[in-house]
Amino acid sequence: MSQIFTKRRGLSIAAAIGVGALLAGCASGDNSGSADSPITLLTSGDADTTQGQGKAMNDVIALFTEQTGVEAEQDRVPFDQFLASATTKARAGKLGDVVEMLPGANFESLFSSVADLTQDQFADADLLSGWSATVKDVADDSVFAGVPVGAQGVVWYYNKALFEQVGLDPEAPPATWDEMLATCDAFKAEGISPIGMSGSDSFILWWAWSSLSPQFFSTEDVNAVRAGDIPLNDERFMDSLQPLLDSYNADCWNDDFAGKKFTDVEADFGAGKVAMVPGLISNAINWKVWDDKLGTDAYGVFNAPKVAGTSLQGQFFNPVLMYGVSAKSQNPDAALKLIETMASAEGQTILLKEASQFPNRTDVDVVGVTGSTGAGQILEIVDAVGGVDVAQNQFNGAAQSASWTNLTQTMISGDLSAFLDDLEKQQRG
């Protein structure tokens, strides 16, 4: 798998994707619907379409309908139920037309139910970044489950005022993990929670783990995890978790983390109660939230601090989502056109403005559209160290679910080996 988004190469999906050519590669199914038949988009999220991702998708659909005359509607399922619901729909042959998936192996249970896509079907395919994350099977990297849309990753955010309050340089976040632990000591001495973590859902802890992965797994290693050549109880997974366990044992986390959800920590950081937090690049607990709650210049962004003894470096930055066409879609032409609209500059500008979803194309002026200093700092980090995929994206649904369920208790018990042995069992099942 080649590096993803290195130097953020430009995309021109609207020009690059030939809908007619794509149809030739769609799997067979009941495609008897007329060209203007309504289509459905199976997507994650709550039912609210008046704001955030729901509104963004509605606006993209409106653009699609204006361009094609075809109606489309969202079938929205809460994120924590999405994979199970989509898998059930796939088995029943009721996926609809356009199917949202996470990149990597997380959603491989759906791959047999979506049409095969190949880069040979696309003009200027070399302009498209992020395809590696949508490969159906690492044994054949020419067949894809969907089109990459948007960018996701994990960075660390910090409150500049709190840094200044405890005598730290507000322009110099910790660059190494030893510095991170020393920074925590400075905040603890003043009664301020250094790192915000959520124990109720383990999501922030998972994101923190993902932020450290590029120091332990090369791009080739990530492929090997997916292929099964590197097990999930490999010592590198242990080593990537150890810094987080060290920070827990050093009391760097908020005291009430065990009962917190990520939304609670998001609120605490926004209210200035937490000094640092590992957060997302797109959609939630991210720069857009901090712009709104703290102000564009009140916080800073930094890459995961360097762990002693590691030689690799990179920034977790890959497609936030990929969209495929159901093999049983009755209107695959329109389904592909909807994906094209989502991936277009206009579509990704809508997603950026309404849902703070980072674009995976450079002809969207992120800072110009958002006015966000934090968003600009993220782009600078990706340019400096390169955007890469992470090993956690190659966990299947069972291993991913087990990690979310058990990660908090693992930190409390300190038994990393048992945790990883269970993940490997879930992965290979």
The answer to whether the CB of 160 falls within 8 A of the CB of 300 is: yes
Give phi and psi for 418, each to the nearest 5: -65, -40
For 254-302, what is each residue's pLDDT tens digit?
999 999 999 999 999 999 999 999 999 998 999 999 999 999 999 999 9
Cβ atoms of residues 75 and 43 within 8 Å: yes
- Does the structure show a pLDDT above 50 at 28? no
The pLDDT value recorded for residue 133 is 86
The pLDDT of residue 90 is 93
Average pLDDT on 327-354 reads 92
CA distance 279 to 405: 19
Q: Is the pLDDT of residue 39 over 80?
A: yes
pTM of the model: 0.87
Supply the mean pLDDT for the chain: 89
The per-residue pLDDT for 126 is 66
Q: What is the pLDDT of residue 110?
A: 94
Which stretch of DSSP H or E encloses residue 293? Answer: helix 287-293
- Amino acid found at 385: V
The DSSP bridge pattern shows strands 299-302 and 193-195 to be unpaired
CB atoms closer than 10 angstroms to residue 425: 15
- Looking at residue 376, its pLDDT comes to 96
Residue type at position 424: E
CA 217 to each of CA 6, 227, 247, 394: distance values in angstroms, whole numbers, following the listed order:
17, 14, 21, 12
Residue 25 has pLDDT above 70, yes or no: no
On whether the CB atoms of residues 136 and 145 are closer than 8 A, the answer is yes
From 83-97, 121-135, 326-340, 377-391, the region with the lowest mean pLDDT: 121-135
Identify residue 80 by its one-letter amino acid code: D
Q: Looking at residues 221-235, what average pLDDT do you find?
A: 94
Report the pLDDT averaged over residues 55-61: 95
Q: DSSP state, 358?
A: B
pLDDT tens string 153-167: 999 999 999 999 999
Distance CA 54, CA 357 (A): 12
